[in-house]
Amino acid sequence: MSCQHVSTVAPVPPRTPKGCEDCLKTGSGWVHLRLCLTCGHVGCCDSSPNRHATKHFHNSDHPIVASFEPGERWAWCYADEEEVPLPRAAEPFLRD
């Protein structure tokens, strides 16, 4: 594992626990959700029409997301394009 980013994030609560922040604004739909562990942005995955989680990474430079799907516990670094250990501090913000 080469990621130097995951140890630097301090997870915060999701800003839009009900779904993708950007899709909710436009009335769009999504497939899966990802939570930005830097700022709490909830965005939709690359299987979704609008790919807001990836767009958020490019717009913000926030590299680490966690799955925001019920029961899933994993994290991903966009900068290194690899799965990274889920920070323990993020767990309370994920969905059961």
Tell me, by CB under 5 A, how many residues bind Zn ion. 18
Token reading at 83: 């799965």
Answer for the pair 60, 41: CB distance below 8 angstroms, yes or no: yes
Site string for Zn ion, 45-74 (x = CB under 5 A): -----x-x-------x-x------------
Beta bridge partners of 84: 75
* 22 contributes a contact to Zn ion by CB under 5 A: yes
* 36 contributes a contact to Zn ion by CB under 5 A: yes
Q: Which residues of 24-58 are buried (b: 16+ CB within 10 A; e: fewer)?
A: eeeeeebebbbbbbbebbbbbbeebebbbbbebbe
* 20 contributes a contact to Zn ion by CB under 5 A: yes
* 41 contributes a contact to Zn ion by CB under 5 A: yes
Per CB under 5 A, residues contacting Zn ion are 3, 5, 20, 22-23, 30, 36, 38-39, 41, 44, 50, 52, 60, 62, 77, 79-80
